[in-house]
Amino acid sequence: MAKRSGGLRFQPSGGERKAQVPTGKKQRLEIDRLAHDGRGIAFVDGRTWFVEGALPGEQVEARVLNARAQIVEARGERILTPSPRRRTEPCRHARVCGGCTLQHASEEDQLALKQRTLAEQLQRVAGLEPEHWAAPLTGPAFGYRRRARVAVRWDAAAGRLDVGFRAGSSQTIIAVEECPVLVQPLQTILLALPQALAGLDKPQAIGHVELFSGTDEAVLVRHTAPLGEADLDRLAGFCAAQGAQLWLQGSAEPQPHDPSRGLGYRLAHWGLELHWRPGDFIQVNEAVNEAMVAQALDWLAPQEGERVLDLFCGLGNFSLPLARAGARVTGVEGVEAMVQRARTNAEHNRLEDVHFYQADLSKALADAPWARGGFPAVVLDPPRDGALEMVKQMASLGARRVVYVSCNPATLARDAAELSRQGYRLVRAGMMDMFPQTAHVEAMALFEKPGV
């Protein structure tokens, strides 16, 4: 998109500038296909429309949310001619809640969209296609999410506390009576939460609430002002009634109300239990996470005693199963607190041949003492912006096999192009449906370079 200029505006040579499409305008559209983010695409008068809640082949009446240049963002408000592939959303809030964007599409069509997104990004950005496509990793379509953030806002004019999830493309808070994507214990807590918060003496002090489920349930209350003893007692009583831990967070790190209770999650296949705290990153989908770890180990195929490097290792989600499988593992993470928790998790699970280090993962690693000798196998699970600086170092680290776990196909494709330039082959790739009912794509790719 061209940069805006604060100076003179010139009329294009092709004629007069088109009038901007006003926000709120209604437009009848015929949907051509789906964009990577799950919105329907339509074309009218030289403009491309991206329409929430629409499927290919449908005629819809859409309301404009935003328009700029030749791009119009809209929400489908009436389905005039529905697709035969449309289904009734299982959740009554799906059309207004911003959490799930694809409940109107079948699980089969959701998987097809995500597979196409991954393939198109690899081809368009890197010019690559894997030698073998892996079957998608899937789990339950509902009742899978073990972590959720609940929006809370005090409405001073109405004298009420709004509790729920954000509406799509809006800051409006939608009060919800169900959330079928949550694991069952969190569904129960969510439904009871608004009444519990509304009963506080100072509900306006609540910033937001996060819900967690693992070896125990937990409720993290983020507060913007100190809470009185009576409100603390009410929150503790609510959590006790729900069988959940209470955690509190003001301006510092989250703290447990009862420090004697532990919180963690299990990797049952390897007999592992990982401790964690609210604020730490964990995968929200237990079933797909376990399948993902199993696939990574299968693709990496570490030999007994082989040196394996786990970059962006976090709490040890890959490191500890690799160590349990007999590899000599070095885990590296940018955040020192996570390194310490990973070490604690290794000790808790009685794993000795795994070591964790803190490092700046945007800089060279080969000179670090723990990197001497290189690593035949590397697994990395970076954030959305990818790991370009790390993949530039794969050959210098001696990596023959690289498993790249990605939450963003665009940066995976960019980094795959760099690995290809170093002589690595894209041997396998596949998507992982970590977030059913959304267009979010997780992926895994295996790169090999014989004879490094």
d(CA 433, CA 426): 21
- Name residues whose C-beta falls within 8 Å of residue 248's C-beta, 6 or more positions apart in sequence: 220, 221, 223, 227, 232, 235, 254, 255, 257
Q: Read off the pLDDT of residues 70-119 as tens digits, 9 standing for 90 and up.
A: 999 999 999 999 999 999 999 999 999 999 999 999 999 999 999 999 99
pLDDT at 222 > cutoff 50: yes
> Can you say whether the dihedral through the CA atoms of 277, 282, 285, 287 is positive or negative?
negative
d(CA 110, CA 128): 23
Q: Is 407 a catalytic residue?
A: yes
Known binding-site residues for S-adenosyl-L-methionine equal 283, 312, 317, 333, 360, 381
**Which whole number is the average pLDDT over 234-246?**
97
Place 19 in a pLDDT band, splitting at 50, 70 and 90.
confident
Catalytic choice (407, 431, 439, 443): 407
Pair 306, 328: CB distance under 8 Å: yes
Instruction: Catalogue all structural domains in the chain, each as residue range(s) with its CATH number.
Output: 25-86 (2.40.50.140), 112-140+285-448 (3.40.50.150), 147-256 (2.40.50.1070)
Helices (H), 266-408: 286-300, 319-324, 336-348, 388-391
Q: Read off the pLDDT of residues 253-268 as tens digits, 9 standing for 90 and up.
A: 999 999 999 999 999 9
Q: Read off the pLDDT of residues 110-125 as tens digits, 9 standing for 90 and up.
A: 999 999 999 999 999 9
- Name residues whose C-beta falls within 8 Å of residue 418's C-beta, 6 or more positions apart in sequence: 388, 391, 392
Query: The whole model's pTM is what?
Result: 0.92
- Report how far apart the first and last C-alpha atoms of the chain are (Å, whole number): 42
HSE (CB half, 13 Å, CA atoms) of 175?
A: 9
Q: DSSP for 132-182?
A: EEPPPB---SSS-B-EEEEEEEEETTTTEEEEEEEBTTS-PEEP-S--TTB
Q: Choose among 443, 436, 441: nearest CA to 102.
A: 436
d(CA 323, CA 407): 24
Integer angstrom CA distances of residue 225 from 205, 242, 265:
5, 25, 31
Burial class of residue 318, CB neighbours in 10 A (0-12, 13-18, 19+): buried
Instruction: Tell the residue number behind the tokens 């999830």, with chain if given.
Output: 165
Known binding-site residues for [4Fe-4S] cluster equal 91, 97, 100, 179
